[in-house]
Amino acid sequence: MGTEASPPHSVKEITKIAQDYEYNPMIPLKYWLRTATTLVREAHIYKREGNDEQAYLLLFRHAQLVLVNLAKHPDAKEELNRKALVQAEKEVSQNLEILETLKPRINKRFDRYSQLIRDRKARAPSRGTNQTPVNQRQRNDPALSSVAEALEAGANRDLAVQLAKTEISRRATVKKAIRQAGISPEEERIRRTAGEWGDWETALHRDHQPVDNDLSQRIQNVHINMDQGPGADHWKYTRKESDKPSPPAVMASESTYKYPSVPRQRPLDTSRPPLVKSPRDTIVSPAVAPTLPPKGHPSIIRPIALDGPSPPARPDKVSSLVTPPSASPALPDKVRRPVAEKATPSGLDPSSFTFKPSAYLENGTPLRTLFLPPELRTHFLSLAAPNTQRNLETCGILCGTLISNALFVSRLLIPDQTATSDTCETVNESTIFEYCDSEDLMVLGWIHTHPTQTCFMSSRDLHTHCGYQVMMPESIAIVCAPSKMPDWGVFRLTDPPGLKCVLGCTQTGLFHPHPESNIYTDALRPGHVFEAKGLEFETVDLRPNGSQF
């Protein structure tokens, strides 16, 4: 069910929080540049959905990161990085106009709210409110302070699936209209960066009315679709050639090392106090660019996310289009009807909803909900089967997008890679980055197999995932162990102590111990990951030799 929105924040409050993040110059500049790109991408999504506060926070943080931190990074003197920094600084200049447009709107809403509170206090005696620490954190979360209805992810999974289908379809329609209008990918990128795309989308909808009407018809059928049973399966499967592979990583052979068992998360206890006290427990920095946990105020700001790979152009070969086997079951009337009909009388609009954080890091930082297609895992295992039979690991990249303050996995990339029985390493990462950029995708995690071992995170796995989670706190690692039970799991590093422990580890062996016992944890319930039946996804194989290494 929905809840009331959080109180609005002033520009002064937002800018203060936007500057409160942990910057580590030891992390390679290329990751920080990806984080900067993600921040801008998320900001534009929040802006389009009407969440001015989150958009302002991300754009301001982007400016702070680029102009103050990255300009002094140790790698900034390298020729390639210098060019990338110049481009990032141009983006900051282009975004200043957006910040100036958002600023008066944010302050006006805050002033109105402040006046309302003063009037209420003047009219009636103050009455105490009995708010739990979690409720208080949610009320202080800027991501929930828009006019959108705040929803619990677990109770609204079917609505989330329909919302994702509608919005992803809308974006695809706009992209198609852009190409039909003769706008090049480069011009599109420039206009998006300059924050002009909202007006262009509106114009394109006017100029291509038949396309818009088709989309409107689909939106009108949303409620009917929610009541229908499983539909036809269709996964999109494509393949793209990539560059020559790089040499495989060196590995150790301590195969007898036993990793500690996975600590399970306890359900979120709404009665216990937050782990970290702060004036404002969270100004969630949307999926765009998560910032590293803030120094001294870990619960105030979302970590700066170092964005994951950006992909190469869409592969030419398009085989079958696959959709998860079953359409999402309809929510009971008690849950679905009031929310969907009350908030979206004319269809599903991302700006009408915002999903509340479904879990928190150990330091109190909120984690946005990540919705995962249940069929993705079994489909990945079918692709990995030839390698599994040869006792070779296989890995894939989980990509997706941000909608209504939640993350949706919508693309499975199979990158060019090298593998052994105990490791798998991606190669030609630039191909992944190019592809993601061309498709406006964000990297949300990775998936890999353990052909003969149990379902756990090895030392090498922990170091690999560290790079993903530094980029985005919600990033996940899925482990598939088809020959064991349990045969799969979804994990993340604890923070603290796991993330910083692995960041500071200099050991390189395949199986080496870490001093912390609770270094990683389960990300499924009561964590931030929810399987959403009916959520569609596509598969893109970037390996030059298909299923062979």
Instruction: Give me the residue spans of the domains in the chain.
Output: 239-255+369-541
Helices and strands (H and E) in the chain: how many: 15, 18
- Report pLDDT for 429: 87
Q: What's the CATH class of domain 239-255+369-541? A: alpha beta
Q: Residue 329: which of 523, 162, 536, 82 has the closest Cα? A: 162
Q: What is the pLDDT of residues 238-273, one digit of tens each?
A: 444 344 333 333 333 343 444 445 555 655 544 433
Instruction: Give the per-residue pLDDT at 508.
Output: 82
Can you read off the two tokens belonging to residue 75? 């790698």
Exposed e or buried b for every residue in 82-98, given b needs 16+ CB within 10 A?
Answer: eebbeebeebbebbeeb
Q: What is the model's pLDDT at position 320?
A: 34
Q: How many CB atoms lie within 10 A of CB 24?
A: 14
Rounded Cα distance between 177 and 417, Å, is: 35
Number of Cβ atoms within 10 Å of the Cβ of 135? 13
- Count of CA atoms in the C-beta half-sphere (13 A) of 463: 19
Which residues in the chain land under pLDDT 50?
1, 144, 195-260, 269-303, 305-346, 549
Selection from 123, 153, 46, 11 nearest residue 403 by Cα: 46
Helix (H, G, I), strand (E, B) or coil at 56: helix
Unique residue bearing structure tokens 């539909």:
231
pTM for this predicted structure: 0.71
Helix (H) or strand (E) holding 83: helix 79-123
Crossing angle of the two packed helices 29-48 and 79-123, in degrees rounded to 10: 40
pLDDT of residue 217: 42
Contact, 400 vs 410, CB < 8 A? Answer: yes
Q: How far apart are CA 117 and CA 111, in angstroms?
A: 10
State the burial class of residue 113 (Cβ atoms within 10 Å of its Cβ: 0-12, 13-18, 19+). middle
Alpha carbon distance 302, 144 (integer Å): 14
DSSP state of 381: H
Q: Is 341 exposed, middle or buried (0-12, 13-18, 19+ CB in 10 A)?
A: exposed
Q: What residue has token string 């190669």?
A: 427
Return the pLDDT at 149: 82
Q: How far apart are CA 48 and CA 228, in angstroms?
A: 30
Task: Look at residue 81 in the predicted model and tell me its pLDDT.
Answer: 92
Would you call 418 helix, strand, or coil by DSSP? strand
CB-based contact 265:359 (threshold 8 Å) = yes
ω into 496 cis (within 30 of 0): yes
Q: What is the pLDDT of residue 126?
A: 53
Nearest to 264 by CA among 468, 450, 489: 489
Collapsed DSSP state (helix, strand, coil) of residue 542: coil
pLDDT of residue 176: 84
Collapsing DSSP states into helix, strand and coil, what is residue 40?
Answer: helix
pLDDT for res 124: 76
For tokens 């695809």, name the residue.
Answer: 172
**CA 366 to chain centroid:** 13
**Are the CB atoms for 461 and 296 separated by under 8 Å?**
no
- In this structure, which amino acid lies at residue 136? Q
